[in-house]
Amino acid sequence: MLNSFIFLGNHGKPYICFNCGRSYKYTRSLRLHVKYECGQEPKYACHVCNYKCKQKGSLKRHVIMTIISDYGCMLRNKPDNLKSQMRHPCKNCNKSYKHRQHLTSHLKYECGKEPQFQCHICYKKYHQKYTLNHHIRVSHLNDIKFI
């Protein structure tokens, strides 16, 4: 498997598959392509339309982005709505997140905790450092003195 691709050393997507010519930014992506996709028929098919794909995640994304928006009434009454399966709910409160990393940040900095990041200009407090930095850029850009 390791011999089925090369590293060209240029910027962008330097890893090229020998079999099909597709290029990837990371070796891991190329290895997964060679192992599960290259030269293989799609394993996953949408039960509503003719869409077929080689990865389960691609089918889930298709259902959420395409089918639910176009045929929402067809999936809304199903007990296992794929859209709710894709969310990551917090066990302590009613919030849910599209990405697991966002749930992890929520649990680490927000859920049941006091805000720990404070603006040094107006003393407003925020749960996440990113939100504080955004606040400073938007609200206090003119207040910051550059030396």
Q: How far apart are CA 30 and CA 1, in angstroms?
A: 10
CA distances, 70 to each of 56, 76, 85 (Å): 20, 11, 19
Averaged pLDDT for residues 98-122? 90
Per-residue pLDDT, 36: 85
Per-residue pLDDT, 79: 46
Instruction: Give 126's pLDDT tier (boundaries 50, 70, 90).
Output: very high
Return the percentage of the chain with pLDDT > 90, whole number: 16
Map out the domains of the chain as residue ranges: 2-37, 44-85, 97-147
* Nearest C-alpha neighbor of 106 from the set 129, 122, 128: 128
Q: Is 30 exposed, middle or buried (0-12, 13-18, 19+ CB in 10 A)?
A: buried
Per-residue pLDDT, 14: 85
Q: Is the predicted pLDDT of residue 72 greater than 50, yes or no?
A: no
DSSP the chain: -GGGEEE---SS--EEETTT--EESSHHHHHHIIIIITT----EE-SSSS-EESSHHHHHHHIIIIIHHHSHHHHHTSSS-HHHHTSEE-SSSS-EESSHHHHHHIIIIITT----EE-TTT--EESSHHHHHHHHHHHSTTTPPP-
Per-residue pLDDT, 125: 94
